[in-house]
Amino acid sequence: MSTTEPLTVIEPDGGVNGYDPGLTEDELLHCYRSMLAVRLFDELCLKLQRSGRIGFSIPNEGIEATQVGAASALRKSDWIFPSYRDFGMALYHGVSPVEMMHNMFGNAADSAKGRQMPVHFSFVEPIRFYSISSPIGTHIPQAVGAAYAAKLRGEDTVMLASFGDGGTSSLGFHSGLNFAAVWKAPVVFLCQNNGYAISCTVEEQTASDGFAIKAQAYGMPGVVVDGNDLFAVRKVVSEAVERARTGGGPTLVEAKTFRMGGHSTSDDPRSYVPAELFESWRAKDPIPRFEKYLAGAGLLTSDTRANLEKEVRAEIQDAARQAEATAKPGLETIFSDVYATLPEHLRRQGQEAFDLAARKGDAAAGGGEFPL
């Protein structure tokens, strides 16, 4: 565990000691709405998975302030190289719940045409949300390459690479941070220290005094921030983004937070997370904490909160209904967007599969029966 005290802005009573987030009332409420949307999207995905309507999801509960605080520090012209646990970054920047639900259902309207796992989103608009890589850490050097390219082109684009504590044990973390510092690439590394990498604890992950300290060895600033504090994350990431944008190179931000659910819908965290840990982190829930600030600023009452929750819940439920009613991708789309010129042997193999499906039925379109 890191002995460095994380930067905190929002006090337990909702006060901020004169900190100015530089956000309008609408922007503050947008941050809040985005966090609420993550919580409700997450909740619905769990139900959809448990009732067999989608195959898989990744819990985001507890991490909302890290996601939204970091996303709020970016311009629409910046790029996000996300982890799979970053729903709030997409929602904050205006990706609609239905676009995300299309991916959860792997249907024909999914930007990956159903060829990715659920939660492996990729969006080009309204912000570049780079296609999520399942292999841990592979997107870190990709973000650095994109950042270096932006620098060579003279653009002022900043890349945000987001990953978990487990991601710091990947080769991509080492090579990515090393090259970023040497090249002074405009990239911000956001390590979401959420306590676990599946069931592996932080103590089993590293012998360092936390993760931010690793920045020193690569030659860049490392900062530890309270990941359940929207303003603290926004402050630290904004400073890192500004440094990157003005030629000061990369920063490693460690956001200390906690994953309040399982790693995915495939595990039961009660078998490896002590109940007391869940309890102590429940008391630090980032959403009620931000609500206290908003209430103190006269921007939220229990009525407006209830109405907003109703509205967001309805939007997400409607998104799921629409996505579920959308057809699965046609088998013939299997090679779409993959090759500029489809190699002849694949064209032939594809045609054989399409002909077989035409004669015997398409397993992708039916109840799983395939004529084997």
Residue with tokens 């409607």: 318
In this structure, how many other beta carbons lie within 10 angstroms of the beta carbon of residue 203?
A: 8
Question: Is 259 labeled as catalytic in the residue annotation?
Answer: yes
Q: Which is nearer to ligand TPP, 14 or 269 (CB)?
A: 269
C-alpha to C-alpha distance for 59 and 297, rounded to whole angstroms: 30
Residues 35, 234: Cα–Cα separation, whole Å:
14
Among 57, 194, 206, 251, binds ligand TPP (CB under 6 A): 194
Nearer to ligand TPP, 70 or 320 (CB): 70
Active site residue 50: no
Helix-then-strand count for the chain, H and E: 13, 8
Cβ(103)–Cβ(110) under 8 Å? yes
Q: Is 305 a catalytic residue?
A: no
> Pairing mode, if any, of strands 79-81 and 159-164?
parallel
Residue placing its CB nearer to ligand TPP in the complex, 198 or 356: 198
Question: At closest approach, how far in Å is the CB of 258 from ligand TPP?
Answer: 10
**Interaction mask 211-250, ligand TPP, x per CB under 6 A:** ----------------------------------------
Decide whether 157 or 162 has the Cβ nearer to ligand TPP.
Answer: 162
Q: Which is nearer to ligand TPP, 196 or 281 (CB)?
A: 196
List binders of ligand TPP among 263-302 (CB under 6 A). Answer: 263
Active-site residue identified among 33, 93, 263, 289: 263
**DSSP letter assigned to residue 123:** B
Query: Which of positions 112-171 make contact with ligand TPP (CB under 6 A)?
Result: 134-136, 163-167
Gap between the Cα atoms of 136 and 121, Å rounded: 15
- When computed from its CA atoms, the radius of gyration of the chain, rounded to whole angstroms, is 21
Residue range at the interface with ligand TPP (CB under 6 A); choices 108-116, 193-201, 249-257, 339-347: 193-201
Q: Name the residue whose CB lies closest to ligand TPP.
A: 164
Query: CA-to-CA distance for 196 and 205, rounded, in angstroms?
Result: 9
Rounded to a whole number of angstroms, the minimum distance from the CB of residue 199 to ligand TPP is: 9
DSSP string, 238-280: HHHHHHHHTT---EEEEEE----S-SSTT--GGGTS-HHHHHH
- Contacts with ligand TPP, residue ranges (CB under 6 A): 83, 85, 134-136, 163-167, 192, 194, 196-198, 259, 263
**Catalytically active residues, by annotation:** 259, 263, 272
